Structure 1
């Protein structure tokens, strides 16, 4: 008879099958057992028909991947440790020395830093294009261009591009296009069906999503996804993903799974509060410009209206303001410090409202013509009372004087 230590490790008890509950089970594993050697040699992880190693998938991660595909309208999904890791995975899987990638000038700043740093170091060129001028994108596609990044709405300044026109340009040039769909969250529009009823050629090739934001919803998870509809492209991404050794923690996957059922409800609330506060800010004399795609005066409102205006909750919970030129950076910083309900912090999509001042001149190739001059501040609206947040903004504006 085996000793107690061995018996505790190799205990024969197996719980009965058939357990069902609102949330799927959480499976944590590096090692995965095979019933025999033949099974070990035959099991395949690439098509999700079996399990071979924790890094290649568990019931928990497979479940999350499938639900995310349903959310965004994709067929295959990869999970990575962050939204930036999703961007990096796409770049590394599809680009090689001598290739070129095109990036919108208002893209997520760390994605631009990746192109300027590691990609350039590896001999991969990059150029920035004007996201509000499809002709500029068309003109910059060259024989070396292998990938075009798209983003809607733009990072920090929230311009909404003509996505459909951009995708058509990429299709005509036979260049892959990848979309950062974090703002849309799979709810504002479907990245693989940009115009319902139109030809599927208008769909992007790849959608990346920072699950850190709305799908998680708690401000306590870092995760990203890479979703596609083409099996061959997905396998190219998946093999790179495997060689990089990318994986996510089971407890983090559990947190995102728990957040998904309430995603549309939370997204709608973020959206409604942000619109109300953006409209209020438009009436304030301190601001030269309020940037929110649903505002008729905001850059890209017409493309947003055409693509997202038919749906509820189609504008996320972000908006930015540009203070009038008379206000200094120090005064705007004092305004941010005076806020009580808003906390100073990066990211968005959680229950707590956030504020962040930006130095836009350090983030763009040049100051966009459609933006007023002044200090820019971005707000991420949480789930607090919009009335309380409005009062907080009002009292903090007194710090300007």
Structure 2
């Protein structure tokens, strides 16, 4: 007589419950899968699983249906074919460096690049035996002359961080490629909408696009995430392998927030573009400023390159105050703003402002005076103009 198995306890049943929901559920938002452990049906299935090609799941760090969905959508946004997610925009830069550079190699970085990119090269990369030099992004010929056999990677950032110079991207790519270097582009400003980094004039394209999804793809000022995208399957495998070895994962709730925000990205980017141009043009009429730095404005450095490459512009620009105003006076102006909040990052719903000392940022500043960077949120632009106007009184206070 076969002995009947005892009924499992409630503790066990709650964990090993037999119910499976029916298939076929569909909704506008993808499901959110949170997992470190992934369950296999048998040992053979476990051994056959290949996470590198996204044909199965092995461990939460290597992907879930939720992260795979966001990666595919970001790849489409960027104009690429393969994407990996990382915990921040800076992590996207770091992953690119770690995957593509070795001791004895050299990386070239624009002098006006995002400063943490430069600091990473000065410290960690240098400590690993990877050399670096900073180049003038507004001189493609000088870049071509600077690339050596040791130069394995060239970074491009359109436009420059804070000072907003827009380089001749196709010619920079051509200069790097002519000497056999790989090209990585920080596409955070363009957000995949202003231009396609993989499809430039003359059949050119970058090898890697790094993107701080923290900015426009998130849009809420509440998520940290980055992505690295490529069209090259071999490069993707190098990036993916380094990603696995570094252990860079992202949280499912953050991925959910990005997936929810992506459909409105084109609308938010276009709104910020319109507001940014309107406010920048207003600042261009003010006697207190020496120059307004916005790629879409005639006279801003590299405007002609922007006009040839781009269809849109991020809601981001800088104002260089006239030299007659001290840094203390400009700080007082910033403190007097009411709608613009003082804070780093950009592309969220709240407009932001930060003053910068140009002498501390560039070896050879193109301007003298104090610079203030504005990031446009989603407030009414007339209210932002009124806020800027009332705060100007603090300059002479």
TM-score band by shorter chain is over 0.9
Distance, in Å, in 1 between the alignment partners of 2:172 and 2:317 is 23
TM-score (normalizing by structure 1): 0.96
Determine the structure 2 residue equivalent to 1:347. Answer: 345
Aligned mates of 1:5, 1:374 — CA distance in 2: 69
Distance 1:72 1:121 in 2: 32
Do residues 155 (structure 1) and 161 (structure 2) align?
yes
Query: Which residue pairs with 2:4 in the alignment?
Result: none
User: What is the alpha-carbon distance in structure 1 between the residues aligned to residue 357 and residue 122 of structure 2?
Assistant: 19
Q: How does 1:47-126 map to 2 (within 5 A)?
A: 47-126=53-132
For residues 172-211 of structure 1, the aligned pairs below 5 Å read 172-195=178-201, 198-199=202-203, 202-211=204-213
Question: How far apart are the structure 2 equivalents of 1:360 and 1:227?
Answer: 32
What are the Cα deviations for residues 355-392 of structure 1, in whole angstroms up to 9, with x where unaligned?
A: 00011221212213xxx311001000000000000000
Q: What residue in structure 2 maps to residue 305 of structure 1?
A: 307
Q: Matches of 2:125 and 2:363 in 1, distance apart? A: 18
Residue matched to 1:384: 379
* 8 Å Cα contact 2:358-2:369 kept in structure 1: no
Distance in structure 2 (CA, Å) of the matches to 1:35 and 1:191: 42
**Structure 1 residue 172, shift from structure 2 partner:** 1.1
258, 261, 266: which is aligned to 1:259? 261
Number of residue pairs matched by the alignment: 390
Is the partner of 2:249 in helix, strand or coil? coil
2:132 and 2:42 mapped to 1: Cα distance? Answer: 49
Deviations 1:255-307 (A, max 9, x none): 11111100000000000000000000000000001000011110000000000
Give the aligned partner of residue 134 of structure 1. Answer: 140
The CA distance in 1 between the partners of 2:336 and 2:177, in whole Å, is 49
Question: What is the TM-score normalised by the length of structure 2?
Answer: 0.97
> Given the alignment, which residue of 1, 11, 36 partners 1:5?
11
Partner of 1:397: 392
How far apart, CA to CA, are the structure 1 residues paired with 2:328 and 2:344? 19
Contact 2:90–2:116 (8 Å) recurs in 1: yes
1:26 is matched with which residue? 32
Give the aligned partner of residue 366 of structure 1.
364
Q: Does 1:235 align with 2:230?
A: no
Displacement of 1:16 after TM fit?
Answer: 0.9
- Which residues of structure 1 form unaligned runs of 5+? none
Contact 2:149 2:179 in 1 (8 A): no
Cα deviations by residue, 1:76-99 (Å, 9 ceiling, x for unpaired): 000000000000001011111111
Structure 2: which 5+ residue stretches go unaligned? 1-6
Q: Which residue of 1 aligns with 2:175?
A: 169
Cα distance, 1:142 vs structure 2 = 1.1
Whole-angstrom CA distance in 2 between matches of 1:360 and 1:13: 63
Instruction: Tell me how far apart the structure 1 counterparts of residues 379 and 114 of structure 2 sit (CA, whole Å).
Output: 26
Separation in 1 of the partners of 2:358 and 2:143?
22
Query: For 1:359 and 1:88, how far apart are their aligned partners in 2?
Result: 26
For 1:264-343, list aligned pairs within 5 A. Answer: 264-308=266-310, 311=311, 314-343=312-341
- Measured against aligned partners, the alpha-carbon deviations of 1:311-347 in whole angstroms (never above 9, x if no partner) come to 3xx1100000000001011101000000000000000
Q: Distance in 2 between matches of 1:400 and 1:362?
A: 22
User: What secondary structure, in the 3-state scheme, does the structure 1 residue paired with 2:235 have?
Assistant: helix
Q: Which has the larger radius of gyration?
A: 2
1:172-207 per-position Cα deviation (integer Å, ceiling 9, x unaligned): 111100000000000000010012xx32xx100000
Q: What CA distance in whole angstroms lies between the structure 2 residues aligned with 1:327 and 1:116?
A: 33
Partner of 2:224: 222
Contact 2:358–2:368 (Cα < 8 Å) also in 1? no
Residues 230-260 of structure 1 show CA distances to partners (whole Å, capped at 9, x for unaligned) of: 0001101110000000110000001111111
SS where residue 275 of structure 1 aligns? helix
Counterparts of 1:121 and 1:178, CA distance in 2? 21
Q: Secondary structure at the match of 1:173?
A: coil
Deviation by residue 1:203-237 (Cα, 9 ceiling, x = unmatched)? 00000000000000000000000000000011011
